[in-house]
Structure 1
């Protein structure tokens, strides 16, 4: 038995449906031309997905790797003008993860040890292959599928990190939708768009990126969801995800022939239309078109997460800072005694670790997402701590290089949502040691005692302490507001109440101007004048 291959291949990471049908390119390297030629024929005959090219020397292998990027490298130990270990070291310098299987006739432990130290993926002996000819096929398939699964996971993390950054940075729905669609097209989809309904229940595009010619051919502005079986329209009508492979849809839904030929002519192989909603409120549909023959379950789950996050961003108008109140102190609430769901997690980590929560997104009535930065902890330690913390449902990693950026799913209710309901705006939460510190800005109609009562109801008496961190006087703020004209005060108040200063914004300048029946330029002029007066009074105090 080859103990090394048993150690590096995790059965849980075996062939996944998401990647099991894709071709596998293999570079086979051996200075024995007869063995290389024979093994190539055997591999390709044993499995139709394998495409094998060969190199018969160290330098030839170098040239081949410079010209191609194989899914897997199978290399003999002795290459005449070099060794397989020498080539492995060069490959790992630029491609640390590409599967590399070392084949040797030596079979001694020194070679195996050196191969392991150079991070070889698998290690086999020619003697074993002669006894089990198809053994190498199984090894190649396994290591390639494991590598593809890891790469897919890394891409998902990048997507999720970019998604959160987009939600934070975008100021309008159109801007958010445009950026989301750009990300999806950049990731490989041919076309991505967000469809919404106008006042007459007709379909109109909010954002479109990619091959829009298809949309112009099949969906005209004002089309109603019931007018066609095109996936976007069906998803709008049924408020359910619609995912199709165009190669088989004609067999299952022959009435769909009106749009399928057009989609095929534009090079589409599959389509997914995902409703955008939050808390039961539907805003539209996110649709992507792909050249691949199918959109697998992993892709679908990621698209659903995109749509859910966009839905949250579209609906959120609460959690805004109150700028006009004569008393808007910043208060730090300190929670202890296991009151915060992340306290149990922090207890399971080292004393040097800190969890910083910048964003909290309610997912549904039962769960919230904490967008978290974890410092002083490794990914392995954090995953282990999540497993033993009952209040944390799961962890999803967005970035793990240096400081860990992740999403922690916790069970509701949580302290942050309780005090938001009481009328405060959250700044951040820091969890370390034995307590959690929530920094919040109070609204004009909210007292500290109301927040303490709300937290104590959830956590119990004696578990909440407060610290006022604002030393701004009421008089100076009142004087600053009194300096505003009636129109400036009206404009600024509307901007605050509409969430204009939040990210993401719910209303743009034009929409707010329309509310007051003034021009956009006039609205902007009054808003800037009001801000200048407030900021000037703060600087001169």
Structure 2
């Protein structure tokens, strides 16, 4: 994203200026058209050139929004200039003007991706026609750039979220990306236990933050946009140009403005980070451009919404494992696992990983499973041949032959035996005729007890353990302990099935069906889990 007032979608009410370079070897025509254009609309800012060489010099010094060029330039042609321009600027609107219509010239111009082709005699009959053509061409170009920018932003957001494993890492990646795209400074603030706003991550000119933000300030008594946005729970956008050097810029409560201008900031935008009416903090950016326009604000909103989703999901995952003391992998002969027949029927290149195992009722268990290297149709066929899988629920697929689904099998399973023993499951992977169940063992359950339970069910010789993390003290966080079994199950399924992702992959009815409960019951348990987690200190770092 480039912080530039000339970028972004152009609505019908858009009044941003349009820089035009008008080129023709006929000085009288150039002078006349310039007056007509500027009279037609004061947003048109016109520069002129009267030769091929002068046009090249002008375009080297300026970055216009549109080029209007005659075909005959004396020391060159408009078509030559178009060819040179397209080599470096394939998107800039280029309007070619000719004295008389010439099909060969028109054909060549189209081949060089000319934006528009206009005859001078048509302009003589309609004096404002050129201005309308310019505005139309620039509007279309800006809209295309905005759509491309929006697509790239969403792709970048997905990459940032995927590559980040903690809130701190995600915040840092987002701030660094925003600075890389042109902002002078970006930071994310979050609420601490006393509801004070404290920096989580920052990038760019941090000297301003050190001067403007003090640890004893609260959102309600500060006029800095970050605090205002948090207090009002709505975006706050400010242009600083009108306050530079004025009494207002140093007035009590607005000293941040003087600090901002001292750091060459000319505009600022602050947007709350929230999801499902839960506020996590605020994203604030500072720009050296005069204003942060509506298109930039829209893209920044995409960032805050996505970060809000990620913060919520990360907080839940962290809370669900908050009492963990050790991570252990239990290895079983795959024939003892209910997904064994499906794994055996799949090609060797396909990997099968289960991220959540949720008791659906007393008789059935739901495995939330991701398979790589297969298709929905192929998986349906192979699952139908398995005598242990009673049904399958598809959640999402992608172009990389990755399928996420819910596999329903009969209870008990190795995972449910471990859950009954008091552990938190992490994931199950079936490969090389081995089922590897990774679990987090809590402080009140020993690994030996888990091995004993599995050995009794599947035979002592079939059970092995591998410690994958050293023992660590339990956190003083009882939020996850307050969840009922069903609330935990609903929350785990929602997280693993992509319910909290953008775009949402599954609705509540589909997930409720997977658990064999009603939509109303599913929603009730999910909301109850939300309230418990976020009123029990999930915002702690």
Q: TM-score range by the shorter chain?
A: 0.5 to 0.7
Residue in 2 that maps onto 1:348: none
Residues 438 and 202 of structure 1: CA distance in aligned 2, closer, same or farther (over 3 Å): farther
TM-score, structure 1 length as denominator? Answer: 0.59
Give the direction of change, closer, same or farther, for the CA distance of 1:483–1:117 in structure 2 (3 Å limit): closer
Q: Distance in 2 between matches of 1:430 and 1:62?
A: 54
Q: Residue 11 of structure 2 aligns with which residue?
A: 16
Alpha-carbon shift at residue 333 of structure 1 (Å):
12
Post-superposition Cα deviations, 1:301-348, rounded to whole Å, max 9, x if no partner, equal 2212211222222232578999724458796999xxxxxxxxxxxxxx
How far apart are residue 88 of structure 1 and its match?
1.8
The equivalent of 2:504 in structure 1 is none
State the Cα deviation string for residues 172-227 of structure 1 (Å, max 9, x = none): 32222112111112222222111112223222111122233333333212422222
Contact 1:429 1:436 in 2 (8 A): no
Flag the 1:432–1:106 CA change in 2: closer, same or farther, 3 A.
farther
Residues 68 and 96, structure 2, Cα contact 8 Å, conserved in 1: yes
Deviation by residue 1:32-86 (Cα, 9 ceiling, x = unmatched): 1222233233323443333323222333333433443322111111222332223
The equivalent of 1:268 in structure 2 is 265
Distance 1:420 1:29 in 2: 74
Going from structure 1 to structure 2, the CA distance change for 1:199 and 1:163 (only over 3 Å counts) comes to: same
Q: How does 1:11-410 map to 2 (within 5 A)?
A: 15-16=10-11, 20-246=14-240, 257-317=254-314, 324-326=329-331
Cα RMSD after superposing both structures: 4.8
Give the match's secondary structure for 1:52. strand
Aligned 8 A contact 1:418 1:454 in 2: no
Aligned mates of 2:165, 2:304 — CA distance in 1: 18
Counterpart of 1:356 in structure 2 is none
How far off its partner does 1:483 sit?
A: 5.7
Give the deviation of 1:476 after TM superposition.
11
- Say if 2:185 and 2:205, in contact at 8 Å, map to a contact too: yes
Q: Secondary structure at the match of 1:120?
A: coil
Do the aligned residues in 2 keep the contact of 1:244 with 1:272 (CA within 8 Å)? yes
Q: Distance in 1 between matches of 2:153 and 2:55?
A: 35
Tell me the equivalent position of 1:470.
Answer: 431
Q: TM-score, normalised by structure 2?
A: 0.59
Does the 8 Å CA contact 1:452/1:464 hold for their aligned counterparts?
Answer: no
**Alpha-carbon distance in structure 1 between the residues aligned to 2:356 and 2:464:** 33
Looking at structure 2, the residues matched to 44 and 285 of structure 1 have their Cα atoms a distance apart, in angstroms, of 43
Query: Quick one: structure 1 residues 166 and 231, their matched pair in 2 at CA, closer, same or farther if it must change by over 3 Å?
Result: same
Change (3 A) 1:311 1:439: farther
Using the alignment, how far apart are the partners of 1:256 and 1:17 within structure 2?
38
* Closer, same or farther: CA 269–88 of 1 in aligned 2, 3 Å: same
Aligned CA distance change for structure 1 residues 235 and 429 (closer, same or farther; 3 Å):
farther
Aligned equivalents of 1:137, 1:66: Cα separation in 2? 24
Equivalent pairs, count: 389
Q: CA offset at residue 464 of structure 1?
A: 9.0
SS in 2 for 1:324: strand
CA contact (8 A) 2:65 2:93 kept: yes
Determine the C-alpha separation between the residues in 2 that align with 1:30 and 1:439.
71
Offset at residue 424 of structure 1 (A): 4.7
The corresponding residue for 2:393 is: 455
Contact 1:274-1:285 at 8 Å conserved across structures:
yes
- The structure number with the bigger radius of gyration is 2
Q: CA deviation at 1:286?
A: 1.0
3-state SS of the aligned residue for 1:74? strand
Q: Is the 8 A contact 1:100 1:120 kept in 2?
A: yes
**Where does the alignment leave 5 or more consecutive residues of structure 2 unmatched?**
1-7, 322-326, 343-354, 397-404, 410-428, 439-450, 452-460, 481-491, 497-541
Any conservation in 2 of the 1:231–1:271 contact (CA below 8 Å)? yes
Q: Measure how far apart 1:247 and its partner are.
A: 6.1
